[in-house]
Amino acid sequence: MMHEEDNSNQELGQKKPIIRRDKVVVTKVTEQELSQIKSTADQCGMTRSDFIRARALGYKPRQRLSDRELDGLRQLAACRTDMVNFANALHGLSDNEKIRLFRHEETMLEWYEKVAHVTNRVADFLQSAQTVNSYPAGTTNEEIKEDGA
């Protein structure tokens, strides 16, 4: 990925390559279209230029989350923390302590596997939801494009 290469170059003391955008594309839009472009770009936390460039190149930026959605994510993150803490506590118990705690080893192990799976899925969701929109300059990664979003 381009981002990883940039980090490795910075670690080696190399500067990030500068992308010079000096070509201009002009198109005419109606007042209503301009208003929609401005609004959608703002909702995605992007400049109009970055938003239009991304859309023209086949990318579909995600809208930023509303305050209500952010609150839901914070609550979800807190639940994940509780689940991780509980899973870690269980992991630190001996098998006999786990058996005594749940009184049925098979049920406890099945539950533990499900909790670990849910915890990992929550972590993946949180990571993807918190990723900031950016124009993926210089990439041809099809997964990032609209069909993969």
Residue 125 lies in a domain: yes
pLDDT of 35 reads 95
- What is the Cα–Cα distance from 52 to 55, expressed in whole angstroms? 5
**Sequence-ordered list of residues with C-beta below 8 angstroms from that of 100, at least 6 positions apart, any chain:** none
- Residue-level pLDDT, tens digit, the chain, 149 residues: 344 444 544 556 678 888 888 899 999 999 999 999 999 999 888 999 999 999 999 988 888 877 887 887 888 888 888 888 888 888 888 988 877 777 777 777 777 787 787 777 777 777 777 776 665 554 444 444 444 44
Q: Is residue 52 part of a domain?
A: no
Tell me how far apart the alpha carbons of residues 6 and 16 are, in angstroms, rounded to a whole number: 6
Residue 28 lies in a domain: no
Whether residue 104 is contained in a domain is answered as yes
pTM of the model: 0.45
Query: In 3-state terms, the chain is what percent helix, strand and coil (to 5)?
Result: 65, 0, 35
Provide the domain limits for residue 110: 67-130
20 belongs to a structural domain: no
Q: Examine residue 23 and state whether it is found in any structural domain, yes or no.
A: no
- The three-state DSSP-derived secondary structure of the chain is CHHHHHHHHHHCCCCCCCCCCCCCCCCCCCHHHHHHHHHHHHHCCCCHHHHHHHHHCCCCCCCCCCHHHHHHHHHHHHHHHHHHHHHHHHHCCCHHHHHHHHCCHHHHHHHHHHHHHHHHHHHHHHHHHHCCCCCCCCCCCCCCCHHHC
pLDDT of 137: 52
Domain count, the chain: 1
Closest Cα to residue 109, out of 95, 88, 123? 95
Q: Is residue 77 part of a domain?
A: yes
Query: Does a structural domain hold residue 88?
Result: yes
